[in-house]
Structure 1
Amino acid sequence: MKKDFLLIIFILLCSFASAQQTDYIKSIKAYQKNYVETHEVVKGKDRKYFRFFPIDEKYDVQCSFEKINDSIGFTMTTSAKTKKHYFKYGKLSFLIDGNIFHLFVYQSKDLMQTEKYKDYLFVPFTDATSGDESYGSGRYLEFYKDEIHNNQLQLDFNKAYNPYCAYSPNYKCPIPPRENFLPVAIKAGEMNFAKGH
């Protein structure tokens, strides 16, 4: 009788976990659908060339956040060889497959002076897929300050996206600093655009 009870509990727990995973996959698919349909650069029939890695929940990572007080900032090179001024806002630490990785978080000097984007934070990165399965000049993640709670942040690489330069040479996109290279293949988020420019 006790074994039967434990078996029922196990089945219920597995069903609950499966339902949670299904909900997560649905939420990312909805995110990707909206991303494609509302993209400001790629329009019309060209939207069929968007590609994404298979959704994998292991890339939805819990990060510890360490604030950095940077009052000087630095210049980040863009794809057009121009410079944009950023401040280093913080450092993220997280685990993937049991290994610890770090990414730095930046804040744009220009954007922080606007009401809409004063709390906007930017995480450009490259990884072992860059230049192969994903865009060679890196991908981006973004969030707002109020998403950081008790020095913790949920960072989902399934939402990593390409800069506009991946679709057109007419943009000046920040190139991720070397310190934001991840020595691992992040097989999540947007892949290389399937149509050249």
Structure 2
Amino acid sequence: MRKILLAVGLLAIVGLLAYSFSDTQAPAASPETAAAYAAQVRQARQQKDNAFRTAATSPIPVAQRAAFGGLRYFKPDAAYRVAARLTRAADLASLPLALTGGSADAYVRWGTAEFELGGRPQKLTLLQKQGETKELFVPFTDPTNGEQTYGGGRYLDLPVPAAEATEIVLDFNAAYSPFCAYNHAYSCPRPPTDNRLTVPVLAGEQLAPQ
């Protein structure tokens, strides 16, 4: 029987990509800040690669782990870390997400994030897994899918913002592929149709190495 697991929240190692800062401001554009930010991103990526290579719960098939050379990423770019206008939903309406394995998982619409990327307005629905209280889930697609990035889209995980927050930081350098990008034994949530970005997101994880 195939192993059917969710990519979201399954392993702590996915959380290694949560290297966004706890404040709600996009990083300053000074060379010093940009260099420090890039170094932080690279360190988090190295930690994730090491975990994928050695952890017993890695999605990389066991027979391939010894030869696993690491994931492919776009270069860190602070321009893809944006402060978005946050709107909370008046009520947590149910939004089941279809899984690649054929079933569905229970999520709710937590709110929306509106921002500009590449000079064009964008909007993403912020989801929360039913029963979760500390984290938001943002599955999305963009024009890079199927060519530079995984065809089924990518994910962001975000901490639930403070009650008084009016902005939320979306760090697309932390965008990651679902586990089914590495191993077909996993069943992963499909991004909802309203989470299609209109500009290429040249940040985060690229297609898995072949």
Normalised by the size of structure 2, how large is the TM-score?
Answer: 0.77
- Which residue of 76, 89, 99 corresponds with 2:97? 76
Distance in 1, matches of 2:186 and 2:157, equals 19
Task: Report the equivalent of 2:169.
Answer: 154
The DSSP-based 3-state class of the residue aligned with 2:69 is: helix
How far did 1:74 drift?
2.4
| Counterpart secondary structure, 1:182 | coil
Runs of 4+ in 1 over 4 A off after TM superposition: none
Q: Is the 8 A contact 2:161 2:168 kept in 1?
A: no
CA distance in 2, matches of 1:55, 1:47: 22
Q: Given the alignment of the two structures, is residue 140 of structure 1 paired with residue 155 of structure 2, yes or no?
A: yes
181-190 vs 95-104, which moves further: 95-104
Structure with the greater alpha carbon radius of gyration: 1
CA RMSD after TM alignment: 1.8
Distance 1:149 1:188, change over 3 A: farther
Alignment partner of 1:35 is 2:48: yes
Alignment partner, residue 131 of structure 1: 146
Which amino acid in the other structure matches residue 190 of structure 1?
E
User: Any gaps of 5 or more consecutive residues in structure 2?
Assistant: 1-28, 53-57
Residue range with higher mean Cα deviation, 92-101 or 148-157: 148-157
1:22-61 to structure 2, matched below 5 A, reads 22-39=35-52, 40-42=58-60, 44-61=65-82
Indicate the structure with greater strand content.
Answer: 1
Question: In the alignment, residue 54 of structure 1 is paired with which amino acid?
Answer: K
Partners of 1:85 and 1:128 in 2: how far apart? 27
Bigger share in helix: 1
The alignment of Structure 1 onto Structure 2 pairs a total of residues equal to: 174
Q: Write out per-residue CA displacement over residues 117-159 of structure 1, whole angstroms, 9 at most, x where no aligned residue.
A: 4222100000000111000001000012146762211111000
Q: Look up the match of 2:121.
A: 100
1:76–1:175 Cα contact (<8 Å) kept: yes
SS at structure 2 position matched to 1:127: coil
1:147-181 residue CA offsets vs partner (Å, 9 max, x unmatched): 67622111110000010000111111000011001
Alpha-carbon distance in structure 2 between the residues aligned to 1:26 and 1:149: 31
Inter-CA distance 154–74: structure 2 relative to 1 (3 Å threshold): closer
Assess, with a 3 A threshold, how the Cα gap between structure 1 residues 20 and 71 changes in structure 2: closer, same or farther: closer
**Residues 44-66 of structure 1: CA deviation (Å, up to 9, x unaligned):** 33431410012111101111110
Stretches of structure 1 that go unaligned for 5 or more consecutive residues are 1-15
